[in-house]
């Protein structure tokens, strides 16, 4: 725990997550840094022919904006036929078609929640697409 400019910052040990609480009128929390309420698992195995969806949700005051980033912190954007990033915190990986090189390439992504009072990063999520005709049970 740290006290910074009247804000109490709390970070879980070994975590990239932090929350901030300030006192408003009547002792109620005034502003909150983002805090995850839902994160995807650290490893997601899925059938490339089926694609997959990752969901991420966070709270904060003001409500945080949720984006997805790569392992080098570059933001993910929509790529028709490959992936779609929704405003509600969902990342959708489109089904791969026969012969696509991306079908068997693993990727590492993270969910990022941010507002005026801070940034929260999810744990790294490693996506492992299986062979086009291989079937995995959904982990989400």
Closest of 43, 86, 50 to residue 68, by C-alpha: 86
20, 36, 115, 116, 125 from 65: Cα distances, Å:
16, 12, 6, 10, 19
Residue spans per domain, the chain: 34-130
CA atoms of 9 and 22, how far apart (whole Å): 9
CATH code for the part of the protein at 34-130: 2.60.40.10
Q: What is the pLDDT of residue 59?
A: 97
pLDDT tens across 11-64, in order?
333 445 545 444 445 555 557 999 999 999 999 999 988 999 999 999 999 999
- Predicted local distance difference test score (pLDDT) of residue 52: 95
79-117 pLDDT, tens digit per residue, is 998 999 999 999 999 998 776 655 557 899 999 999 999
Please tell me whether residue 5 adopts helix, strand or coil conformation. coil
pTM for the full predicted model: 0.71
């Amino acid at each position: 725990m740290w006290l910074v400019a009247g804000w109490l910052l709390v970070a879980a040990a070994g975590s990239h997550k932090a929350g901030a609480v300030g006192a408003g009128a009547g002792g109620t929390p005034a502003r909150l840094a983002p805090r995850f309420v839902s994160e995807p698992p650290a490893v997601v195995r899925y059938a490339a022919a089926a694609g997959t969806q990752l969901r991420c949700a966070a709270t904060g005051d003001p409500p945080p904006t949720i984006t997805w980033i790569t392992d080098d912190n570059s933001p993910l954007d929509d790529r028709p036929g490959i992936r779609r990033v929704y405003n509600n915190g969902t990342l959708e990986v489109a089904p791969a078609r026969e012969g696509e090189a991306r079908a068997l390439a693993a990727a590492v992504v993270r969910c990022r929640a941010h507002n005026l009072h801070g940034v929260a990063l999810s744990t790294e999520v490693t996506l492992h697409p299986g062979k086009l005709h291989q079937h995995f049970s959904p982990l989400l």
